[in-house]
Amino acid sequence: MKVEALTQEQLGEIHQATLDLLEKKGVAIHHTPSRRLFQQYGALVEGETVRIPETLVAEFLKKAPRSFSVAGRNPVRNIQIGEEYQPVLGPAAGAVFVSDLEKGRRPGGLKDLQNLLALSQLSDYIGVATAGILTPADLAPENQHLTQLWETVKMSDKPIIGLSLGAKISEDSIQMARIAAGDQGAHYVIGIVNSLSPLAWDERMLEAIWAYAGKGQPLVIACCSMAGFTSPTTLASTLVQNNAEVISGMLLAQLIHPGTPVVYGNTSTITDMLTMNLCIGAPEYALLSTACAQLARFYGVPYRSGGGLTDAKEVDAQAGIEATTNLLFTMANNVDFVLHALGIMESFLSISYEKWVMDEEIWGRMLHICRGIGALPGGAVDLLSTVGSTGHYLDQPDTLLNFRHVFSRPALSDRGNWDSWVKKKKTYPEAAHEIWQARVRNFTPPALPPQVESELKQYIKDVKR
Amino acid sequence: MKVEALTQEQLGEIHQATLDLLEKKGVAIHHTPSRRLFQQYGALVEGETVRIPETLVAEFLKKAPRSFSVAGRNPVRNIQIGEEYQPVLGPAAGAVFVSDLEKGRRPGGLKDLQNLLALSQLSDYIGVATAGILTPADLAPENQHLTQLWETVKMSDKPIIGLSLGAKISEDSIQMARIAAGDQGAHYVIGIVNSLSPLAWDERMLEAIWAYAGKGQPLVIACCSMAGFTSPTTLASTLVQNNAEVISGMLLAQLIHPGTPVVYGNTSTITDMLTMNLCIGAPEYALLSTACAQLARFYGVPYRSGGGLTDAKEVDAQAGIEATTNLLFTMANNVDFVLHALGIMESFLSISYEKWVMDEEIWGRMLHICRGIGALPGGAVDLLSTVGSTGHYLDQPDTLLNFRHVFSRPALSDRGNWDSWVKKKKTYPEAAHEIWQARVRNFTPPALPPQVESELKQYIKDVKR
């Protein structure tokens, strides 16, 4: 499966327009050390604006690797991110609300953070543990991030997505992930930063780039512009702006530490002009995501986008339509790193437990499609001739041997007949509710070696002082 | 967007295995005149089985055209079917039950037939009026088909999908469609026939092929095998069987009347081995459909498959997931003729009014994706430079001029915020319910010229005698 939203010519045009924009207009960089560094390498600084010459882009962007690995505290969980590898999935992140069938929608608390980390650890599809999966509303803001990081390391042995809001929080994320992973390899945490559309980078994000790139740790560098509001209505023009934002961020990481792994990220889409909401379930998301995948390949870096994105408020037909479209394009674009793969709802505002299980089902379907038709077996014509036009295949050894592992079997969707469905009396969200509840109930966190535990506790103690 | 399920090598292998199967084992043809005709052209007949030599396939399959047109009673509605044209969509067909939010699921009646024909006529996406959209359970079986055909011609001025169960019903379909379309062109009705898997053709279907092909009218020739039950578990082997069935049907049409337009059809999928249900929402459907699209192109004939297929029992997340997957592959495969595009549910057993509106929304999304990113406008960098990093795009002339016709706007999906959604108190199916009800309430059938009306009534009278 292969999708393209841009011809090679269009791709070249967008690249050239981006270079023009970076050189002529530039990007606002709200952070003095970052501006100084750009200036040192030949960029023109005027006030907060940095105008980046084409030569700088050409020289430094190519220093970013095409793929890289990240270690978790359990080496079996280590991941590889990049074009030659399978997509790595992360759960929904950064949501304010959580929802489930029983308790409805409410601000997420510590228990929810723990539950979602447990579901992340248990899901075969999820490759990372995300400290920022949600910010517990029932914790005091001071040192909240230390609790989030501690829970992440404790509940999961997968590689960690750190927090990246400013220097201190980033530094603590990096250190705690390093303690957890031990001396396994060069990369042990991933930072995620977003530009401030239009054409700007906020100080806290730039501090995060310095913190992660300063230690050579991978950074996912994304834009999330709202076409019609923080970027132009015309999608091709929005792409130029996005590209300028992402390139300036990737470039800064290379100037700080050449060779820092960077992932080209995109979550831009259109704005609902009635409510000013971000429409993450819109078909435009799939289009922009496809175009950005082409741009990331063009620059030779891994790509982040996609996931089970939807603007729906409950696990309904809209959620199914939008998450399926976006996960299908995630698969078709072979997105290297997928944030928000599971559970996200309501324009990034909330995480739904039932939606998580739904998205898992959808991704399972996508993987099944990826398996393809398969080869024609040797004796195919013989088998077909044996059964001919009068028999059936129910009692053929081929059927009995193969159907269980050849045929797809969705966890939630109903394939039975009407009467059995009526008798079951279970809606799709109800079936999903049972599944996640059973998982959370039976969860035991993976053992944390006592030495790692005491080192982490010591770190937290020192930092709090 | 381009999808492929088979490599060129696999395609060749399946073609060759099909020819072997047709020549060595053959197909059961339960109709004496058909067997005789095959024999006349060099096929070997043994009992009911016809073994078809490779040379016959090579010589006659190429007589089928790559594309063709069909006239409706309103020339504006005429359609073109084939690779160089846009997909032509037909509604769900052949269902036993209908369902809507108010009355639930029940056997469909005459009123439902009328409603569904009205919705077909009103939908911009639907290209045809399908007499077999449902068989009204409240009509006496005798001459039921005449009422179905009469309602179809009366309620819609689009080209007609006739009925094709046996010689008489086919003949009446052809005649009534001919009267409705007048002398506009060579083709004025489409017949749909299905093989009887495994490897057989039933008498009534063969009579329909004789009736339609006898008058040079287009035929959609499909298989609907159930892998694991009426075809092998291994998908590649199922493809060989399907291909043999469809090729034998297409070939018969060419022997009867060389040049008869035939559409290569496929609706095969896997069987739910617990309940023996056909899983039309399974990912295997998308895979088989993609592979058959490649086979149809290989043989140079238009292709029929796809649609909003689902095994769901209500308009829920499952319906959204499955219909979206199948409609996305319908788009990606550029399926020439799409039966069951709107409304089908429950493994082909029922048509849902609300699902119809949902499927329309999904297809609208697909068309939006097909529009692509679009060209980069001339002054893009200037516009981006003007707004720079401090402004926004809400008040830009580009935004005000373009957002309405550039941005997608789904009819049902909610893009607003939580509070407005709660206030609205309308689920996805409820919103769909309002839409179809308003359409049906306000529907006026397109005027039927008095002369056509009296000719049709005379035909019905004569036939009934």
pLDDT in tens, A54-89: 999 999 999 999 999 999 999 999 999 998 899 999
Whether B28 sits inside 8 A of A389 (CB atoms) is: yes
Whether A287 sits inside 8 A of B369 (CB atoms) is: yes
Average pLDDT of span B229-244: 97
Lowest-pLDDT choice from A401-415, B61-75, B190-204 = A401-415
Whether B373 sits inside 8 A of A227 (CB atoms) is: no
pLDDT band at B250 (very low <50, low <70, confident <90, very high): very high
Question: Does position B12 have pLDDT exceeding 90, yes or no?
Answer: yes
Q: Which of B375, B414, B422 sits opposite A236 (nearest CB)?
A: B375
pLDDT band at A298 (very low <50, low <70, confident <90, very high): very high
Residue B30, chain A, CB below 8 Å: the answer is no
Architecture of the domain defined by A1-373+381-465: Alpha-Beta Barrel (3.20)
pLDDT at position A185, please?
84
Q: How far is B409 from chain A (nearest CA, A)?
A: 8
Whether B240 sits inside 8 A of A384 (CB atoms) is: yes
Query: Which chain A residue is nearest to residue B4, measuring alpha carbons?
Result: A1
Query: Which chain A residue is nearest to residue B10, measuring alpha carbons?
Result: A375
Whether A325 sits inside 8 A of B320 (CB atoms) is: no
Average pLDDT of span A253-278: 96
* Rounded Cα distance, A270 and A426, in Å: 36
pLDDT at position B398, please?
86
Question: Does position B1 have pLDDT exceeding 80, yes or no?
Answer: no
HEC-encoded secondary structure of chain A: CECCCCCHHHHHHHHHHHHHHHHHCCEEECCHHHHHHHHHCCCEEECCEEECCHHHHHHHHCCCCCEEEECCCCHHHCEEEECCCCCEECCCCCECEEEECCCEEEECCHHHHHHHHHHHHHCCCECCEECCCECCCCCCCCCHHHHHHHHHHHHCCCCEECCCCCHHHHHHHHHHHHHHHCCCCCCCEEEEEECECCCEECHHHHHHHHHHHHCCCCEEEEECCEECCCECCCHHHHHHHHHHHHHHHHHHHHHHCCCCCEEEEECCEEEECCCCEECCCCHHHHHHHHHHHHHHHHHCCCEECCCCCCCCCCCCHHHHHHHHHHHHHHHHCCCCEECCCCCEEHHHCEEEHHHHHHHHHHHHHHHHHHHCCCCCCCCHHHHHHHHCCCCCCCCCHHHHHHHHHHCCCCCCCCCCCHHHHHHHCCCHHHHHHHHHHHHHHCCCCCCCCHHHHHHHHHHHHHHHC
Residue A21, chain B, CB below 8 Å: the answer is yes
Find out whether A127 and A79 touch, Cβ atoms under 8 Å: yes
Chain B stretch 227-246, residues whose beta carbon is closer than 8 A to a beta carbon of chain A? 227-237, 239-241, 244
Mutate to test the interface with A, among B407, B421, B423, B425 (most CBs of A within 10 A): B407
The full DSSP string for B310-378 is ---SSSSHHHHHHHHHHHHHHHHTT-SEETT-SSEEGGGTEEEHHHHHHHHHHHHHHHHHHH-S-PPPT
pLDDT at position B184, please?
85
pLDDT at position B465, please?
87
Tell me the chain A residues in contact with residue B99 when contact means C-beta distances shorter than 8 Å. none
pLDDT at position A83, please?
82
Angstrom distances, CA of residue A194 to CA of A229, A248, A282, B381 = 17, 11, 21, 22
> For chains A and B, what is the number of CB pairs under 8 angstroms?
366
Identify which of A103, A373, A139 has the alpha carbon closest to the alpha carbon of residue B5: A373
Find out whether B228 and A393 touch, Cβ atoms under 8 Å: yes
Average pLDDT of span A121-125: 97
pLDDT at position A290, please?
97
Q: What is chain B's mean pLDDT, rounded?
A: 96
Identify which of B128, B149, B147 has the alpha carbon closest to the alpha carbon of residue B138: B147
pLDDT band at B324 (very low <50, low <70, confident <90, very high): very high
Tens digits of residue pLDDT in B416-460: 999 999 999 999 999 999 999 999 999 999 999 999 999 999 999
Residue A442, chain B, CB below 8 Å: the answer is no
- CA A395, B238, B326: angle at the middle one, nearest 5? 120
pLDDT at position B185, please?
84
* Rounded Cα distance, A26 and B388, in Å: 8
Q: How far is B34 from chain A (nearest CA, A)?
A: 17
Query: Which chain B residue is nearest to residue A409, measuring alpha carbons?
Result: B282
Residue A383, chain B, CB below 8 Å: the answer is yes
Chain B stretch 59-78, residues whose beta carbon is closer than 8 A to a beta carbon of chain A? none
Centroid of chain to Cα A190: 11
pLDDT at position B347, please?
96
Q: How far is B330 from chain A (nearest CA, A)?
A: 13
pLDDT band at B183 (very low <50, low <70, confident <90, very high): confident
Find out whether A361 and A351 touch, Cβ atoms under 8 Å: no
* Rounded Cα distance, B152 and B227, in Å: 34
Angstrom distances, CA of residue B398 to CA of A72, A189, B51, B393 = 48, 42, 66, 8
Percent residues over pLDDT 70 in chain B: 100
Q: How far is A197 from chain B (nearest CA, A)?
A: 7
Mutate to test the interface with B, among A240, A245, A414 (most CBs of B within 10 A): A414
Instruction: Please report, as a single letter, which amino acid is at residue B15.
Output: H
Tell me the chain B residues in contact with residue A417 when contact means C-beta distances shorter than 8 Å. 275, 277
Question: Does position A2 have pLDDT exceeding 80, yes or no?
Answer: no
Tens digits of residue pLDDT in A333-356: 999 999 999 999 999 999 999 999
* Rounded Cα distance, B283 and A364, in Å: 9
* Rounded Cα distance, A198 and A196, in Å: 6
pLDDT at position A191, please?
98
Whether A4 sits inside 8 A of B5 (CB atoms) is: no
Average pLDDT of span B354-378: 96
Question: Does position A117 have pLDDT exceeding 80, yes or no?
Answer: yes
Q: Which of B368, B384, B390 sits opposite A240 (nearest CB)?
A: B384
Whether A376 sits inside 8 A of B328 (CB atoms) is: no
Question: Does position A1 have pLDDT exceeding 80, yes or no?
Answer: no
* Rounded Cα distance, A446 and B312, in Å: 38
Residue B425, chain A, CB below 8 Å: the answer is no
Kindly give the pairing relationship between strand A79-82 and strand A67-70: antiparallel
Average pLDDT of span B187-205: 98
ipTM exceeding 0.90, yes/no:
yes
Question: Does position A40 have pLDDT exceeding 90, yes or no?
Answer: yes
Percent residues over pLDDT 90 in chain B: 94
Average pLDDT of span A196-209: 98
pLDDT at position A35, please?
98
Identify which of B195, B203, B261 has the alpha carbon closest to the alpha carbon of residue B231: B195
Residue A375, chain B, CB below 8 Å: the answer is yes
Whether B415 sits inside 8 A of A279 (CB atoms) is: yes
Question: Does position A465 have pLDDT exceeding 90, yes or no?
Answer: no
Q: How far is B465 from chain A (nearest CA, A)?
A: 39
Average pLDDT of span A183-206: 96
Residue A405, chain B, CB below 8 Å: the answer is no
Residue A106, chain B, CB below 8 Å: the answer is no
Contacts of A382 (CB under 8 A, 6+ apart): none
Tell me the chain B residues in contact with residue A418 when contact means C-beta distances shorter than 8 Å. 105, 313, 346, 349
